[in-house]
Amino acid sequence: MVGELHHECGLAAIYHLPGGTASPLCPVQGPNDVARLVPRMLLDIQNRGQLSAGMTAWNPDRNQLLATHKDVGSVSEVFGMSHRSVYDRLMDQHTGPAAIGHVRYATCGAEDRGYAQPLERPHIQKRKWFSFGFNGQLANYPELRAEILADGDNHLARDNDTEVILHAIGRELSGDAIPTPVELLAAISRRFDGAWNIAVIDACGRMIVARDPLGIRPMEYAIEGPLVAAASESVALLNLGFATESIRSLEPGTALVVDASGPRIERFAESPRRAHCFFEWVYFANVASTMDERSVYLVRKRLGEELARLETVPIDADTVVVPVPDTSKAAADAMAYRLSIPSVEGLIRNRYTGRTFIDGAASRRQKAESKYTPLREVLEGKRVILVEDSIVRSTTMKVLLGRMRSLGLAKEIHVRIACPPIVAPCFYGIDMSTIGELFAPPFLREGVLTEEAQAEMASRLGADSLRYLPIESVARSIGMPSDALCEACLTGRYPTPAGERLYQIALGHDPRSGASRTYETVR
């Protein structure tokens, strides 16, 4: 995606059951070595967050029953994976038969080590000593925060929903209460509005991986022999060696619970409707992943076929399809195949320029200029159908089109977006929280995408033409009914009450207020 959108985070969890021998799935010497696999799992879901990474390992043979390591940076940086001695020393300090891991990008809170996850809550009582990681965003975070701070004795050290969840779990464990996993999750589920997948591990050695009742964010798990694992995407499990048929999606409103008695799936909340985030298939997830029994690759392939079905540009020997690397390639290839024209790499991505979303608009523009290199040998004199998965803010798309003309000498550039226009913010874990930052809304007439609107957008971007997919193409490509998907950013219709309230606030949000995200205006 040009002008990249970013997901909040990703989760990983692994557990070697007692009594079993080392699993042939993993290159480990014994049960206590399975924690070493967490950084490897996190690398496979690094696409979900590059701001920070961390893990907590449980080891009953160590005084420090829960040991947490986390920091700002990529997985490789945080775990010293480029320096064998550093990595080995860290892993020796974090051995254990069970561990959870996390990668983060901030949609809420600051960008420092204090916000890195997992968050650990030490306690003298083992059942109250726990660590957890969180994927998603609570739409009713402002209300939950205000409720906590209404008691003058309470204090929140961080300005994000993760600490609110920490306190919510801690409250259910307070006093003499000994809730079961189902009781604990049911209690917090009744208070939370939004997307909230969590992975929890406590000092007793119990691990809980839960998916919210709407199933907004994905969660996959696998059980083979003594090894149990879960991750935000199936690719992390597949690359550990789990058989494809062993990998399943955790049902919304259920939890994978693992302890000395073994693994089990338990329901903690009813799930009368689903609201799977369509963007997981369109953009966020690794193309090798399968989520809720739908292949990410095949969905993107079908989106490209939908684009081909609508194409009206004259096709001749000088017409080529060019994907914007990397998430658009499957759609571009499928579109080109249906149109019987070449799909060529006219843009080469420089993978070492850094993530443009971290910086301000001026810096993003500067980095965009070096992020993609147009190949003149491929583009010169060509009618280019440029395929992108979505446009959000448009800053980098404008730069890219200019470079394709000036450096690549493309004759024509026709932008095709394998997604409908983004017209509303996301309050469930994607970093676009205000309407003012979005490219499409000012061009729509009463929310309707017209040919005239697309022509105006093309002119603004510097393209010869632009076309989005219609909304119905999304559900058709994913293979789910639209009422089982969250398409709020496409329609302005949110699956939760708090999401709808935030949207109404966003509609009246003044970007001059100084609040960069809608929820920051609610205090």
Q: Which residues are catalytic?
A: 9
Is residue 476 classed exposed, middle or buried when 0-12, 13-18 and 19+ CB atoms within 10 A define those classes?
Answer: middle
Is residue 295 classed exposed, middle or buried when 0-12, 13-18 and 19+ CB atoms within 10 A define those classes?
Answer: middle
Looking up tokens 């726990």 gives: 130
Amino acid at 428: Y
Q: Does residue 338 sit in helix, strand or coil?
A: helix
Residue 252, preceding bond cis, omega within 30 degrees? no
Looking up tokens 């070697």 gives: 16
Token code pair at residue 418: 């394998």
Transcribe 224-280 into DSSP letters.
Answer: ETTEEEEESSHHHHHTTT--GGGEEEPPTTEEEEEETTEEEEEE-S--SS--EETHI
Token code pair at residue 71: 């920091």
Longest dimension (CA), the chain: 76
Contact of 160 with 148, CB cutoff 8 Å: no
Residue 444 and residue 441: Cα distance in Å, rounded? 5
Helix (H) or strand (E) holding 417: strand 412-417
Q: What is the 3-state secondary structure (H, E, C) of 368-416?
A: HHHHEEECHHHHECCEEEEEECCECCCHHHHHHHHHHHHCCCECEEEEE
Transcribe 276-294 into DSSP letters.
Answer: EETHIIIIIS-TT-EETTE
